[in-house]
Amino acid sequence: MSTDRTGTAPAEDDPWDLLVVGGGTAGIVGAKTAARLGARVLLVEQERTGGDCLWTGCVPSKALLAAASVAATARTAQRFGVDVGEVRVDFAQVMEHVRAAIHHIAPVDSVEALEKSSVVVRQGTARFTGRNSADIDGASVAFRQALVATGAAPAIPGIAGLADVEHLTSETVWDLDELPADLVVLGGGSIGCELGQAFARLGSRVSVVEGASGILPREDPAAAEALARALVGDGVELHTGSGVEVVEPTGGGSGILHLGSGRKVPFTRLLVAVGRAPRTSDLGLDAAGVEVDGHGFVVVDDLLRTTNHHIWAAGDLTGHPQFTHTAGAHASMATSNAVLGVRRKVNLTAVPRVTFTDPEVAAVGLSTDTPAAGLRRVAWSHDHVDRAVAEGSVDGVSRLVVDRRGRVLGATVVGPRAGETVGELTLAITRGLTTRDLAGVTHPYPTYNDGPWNAAVSDVLDQLARPTARRAVGVLARARRWWVQRAA
Ligand SMILES: Cc1cc2nc3c(=O)[nH]c(=O)nc-3n(C[C@H](O)[C@H](O)[C@H](O)COP(=O)(O)OP(=O)(O)OC[C@H]3O[C@@H](n4cnc5c(N)ncnc54)[C@H](O)[C@@H]3O)c2cc1C
Ligand SMILES: NC(=O)c1ccc[n+]([C@@H]2O[C@H](COP(=O)([O-])OP(=O)(O)OC[C@H]3O[C@@H](n4cnc5c(N)ncnc54)[C@H](O)[C@@H]3O)[C@@H](O)[C@H]2O)c1
């Protein structure tokens, strides 16, 4: 048992300094941060620590994409003059690779690792019973402060007939033991594009149905179009611009999607990926005085305090961007605020997002397609990025949006490893760096970072070509010529 700072062991029923509900990324980071700061922390997890990212989200999806990428590379190897013969995919082994990746990472998020960090972990379902009390499977606990971090689950739209067909979600797709011959994905967002491409490359016939006019509707259309071309190249059929009106079951899990356009899309397996809804409905939040919005997201202020100022929230249940990096960063912020009484504030101006398809679509900051007064947009086609040419991956682009002073406010990069490239751009936006700052940094050649670097250089050259700048350069050059001649 841990002791308090006076060295006395707290009684079992002493209120916990911090009760953490949920053992996903937000819960784990929050609990470890608070314990490191000296708090007595109890974390409650109803299923398994690690949460969605580890078990059903980031890790398995990236592992599946890695296997799919190898299959696609092998299939197209002949364009490099390499013949690998017929490509066969052993789906059972692919899933073995996926599970191995999960189990490699799992110890970091384990109960043992939490306990090593002085966090007490209890398996069970927590429910608030009052402003400073909760029930864990029949046992009551008291807390001084709490962090709610119960995440989100796949949203199932109320489309007529959908409940009558067996459908997969990002939670159940990992239980497949056979590669589906065909798969229809409802939703062309991050999950739909990543899993749609992965299954297509592994050999399923895939269709993606997206209600908006194009896939990845929140991204720069130039980026989404590049990805759409790649998906079509992988054999994915895209149905965009029309939602599903009715799902008609045809027996044995099969059915037909009837789109608003009148088109019919038959399926034998359907994967629903139309967003994620917060897990807040059965948490006793009313009893705790914690308000949720119309969609069930916990209402937080910019300190991540809920409407009960002793209860904090972080991660997918808050309505902030639903990413592991946001969940972790916000949980650390919320628990520092809770335990130390400091006032670290949420800043959403530079939250990077990456769809890990091939090509990757990465973006951060202001949208790079919406024109706005006083802002310049610069783009660099990856046709002119030597690394992309060498690797035969030129269908990509780097776009920046900058203010009058050249400060980078937003970026979109499409191409291999765009997710790595966007790190530098995130730093640039966070630190108020300019295109001159980026252009002045020596980058290793040849890398995909040459995309945004060349965009930055072209912005600097454009600015130097303006009449005032040209006049200033002319004066300097003439003065220097005069000085050199005089000295000679
Ligand atoms: C297919 C897929 C791919 C993704 N890929 C990426 C990616 O590449 N990069 C990225 O940044 N993000 C990705 N995400 C998003 C990322 O997984 C989430 O943003 C992240 O897991 C959110 O963490 P969280 O802690 O808020 O919630 P979760 O990880 O969902 O954790 C919440 C935990 O709370 C527990 N819980 C719920 N209710 C209770 C209760 N009453 N009592 C006790 N415990 C409870 C749950 O069992 C769960 O373990 C992906 C998501 C999916 C679905
Ligand atoms: N690489 C990553 O970081 C990554 C990967 C996967 C998921 N995630 C996270 O998980 C969240 C959920 O992913 P998601 O793909 O389920 O949601 P999403 O919000 O990214 O995309 C859902 C898509 O479904 C469409 N849609 C909604 N209702 C529809 C309908 N009835 N018919 C047809 N289309 C419909 C939407 O227009 C949208 O394009 C993401 O927003 C992201 O935060 C992140």
Q: What is the CATH number of the domain that holds 378?
A: 3.30.390.30
Whether 30 and 331 have beta carbons less than 8 Å apart is answered as yes
Q: What 3 state SS string does 93-156 have?
A: HHHHHHHHHHHHHHHHHCHHHHHHCCEEEEECCEEEEECCEEEECCEEEEEEEEEECCCEEECC
Strands (DSSP E) along 252-359, which ranges? Answer: 254-259, 264-267, 270-272, 276-278, 311-313, 353-355
Residues facing residue 140 across a β-bridge: 135
Q: How far is the CA of 193 from the centre of ligand 1 (A)?
A: 19
pTM: 0.96
Q: Is 214 in the pocket of ligand 2 (CB under 6 A)?
A: no
The one-letter code for the residue type at 70 is V
Distance 369 CA to ligand 1 centre (A): 30
Report whether 79 contacts 392 (CB < 8 A): yes
Shared domain for 23 and 131, answered yes or no, is yes
CATH code of the domain in which 249 resides: 3.50.50.60
Q: In this structure, are residues 60 and 102 in contact, taking their beta carbons and an 8 Å threshold?
A: yes
pLDDT in tens, 355-401: 999 999 999 999 999 878 999 999 999 999 999 999 999 999 999 99
Would you state the pLDDT for residue 4? 47
As for how many domains the chain has, the answer is 3
For ligand 1, residues with CB inside 6 Å are 21-27, 44-47, 51-53, 56-58, 61, 125-126, 149-151, 170, 191, 279, 283, 315-316, 322-325, 327, 356
Among 190, 210, 227, 259, the mutation site with the greatest number of ligand 2 atoms within 8 A of its Cβ is: 190
> CA-CA distance, 142 to 148, in Å (whole number)?
15
Same domain, 191 and 264: yes
Give the pLDDT confidence score for residue 45 in this predicted structure.
Answer: 98
**Distance separating alpha carbons of residues 207 and 367, to the nearest angstrom:** 28
Counting ligand 1 atoms within 8 A of each CB, the residue from 150, 169, 172, 317 with the most, and so the one to mutate, is 150
Angstrom distance (rounded) from CA 454 to CA 439: 7
Of all protein residues, whose CA lies closest to atom 39 belonging to ligand 2?
A: 189
243 and 377 in a single domain? The answer is: no
Domain that holds residue 292: 16-49+110-153+277-340
140 and 286 together in one domain: yes
Q: Pick left, alpha or beta for residue 244 (phi over 0 → left; psi -120 to 50 → alpha; otherwise beta).
A: beta
Residue 405 shares a structural domain with residue 437 = yes
149 and 284 part of one domain? yes
- Contact between 192 and 215 (Cβ < 8 Å): yes
Whether 23 and 133 share a structural domain: yes
Count of CB atoms within 10 A of residue 470's CB?
A: 11
Note whether 235 and 298 are same-domain residues: no
Bridge-based pairing of strands 408-415 and 397-402 is antiparallel
From the CB of 208, is ligand 2 less than 6 Å away?
no
Residues with pLDDT less than 70, the chain: 1-12
CB count within 10 Å of CB 13 equals: 8
Q: Are strands 182-186 and 270-272 parallel, antiparallel or unpaired?
A: parallel
Mutate to test the pocket of ligand 1, among 56, 58, 361 (most ligand atoms within 8 A of CB): 58
Expressed in angstroms, the distance from the first to the final Cα of the chain is 83
Asked if the structure places residue 389 within a domain, the reply is: yes
CA 318 to ligand 1 centroid distance, Å: 12
Closest ligand 1 atom number to CA of residue 27: 25
Cα–Cα distance, 134 to 366 (Å, whole number) = 41
Atom of ligand 2 nearest to the CA of 321: 43
Q: How far apart are CA 346 and CA 329, in angstroms?
A: 9
CA distances from 282 to 126, 130, 174, 278, 316 (A): 9, 14, 26, 11, 16
Same domain, 289 and 400: no
Same domain, 149 and 281: yes
Q: Is the CB of 275 under 6 A from ligand 2?
A: yes
- Are 37 and 147 found together in one domain? yes
pLDDT the model gives residue 370: 81
> How far apart are the C-alpha atoms of 99 and 96, rounded to whole Å?
5
Alpha-carbon distance of 321 to 311, in angstroms, equals 20
**Distance in Å, CA 24 to ligand 1 centroid:** 6
Site to substitute for ligand 2 among 171, 184, 265, 276, most atoms within 8 A of C-beta: 276
Instruction: Tally Cβ neighbours within 10 Å of residue 180.
Output: 21
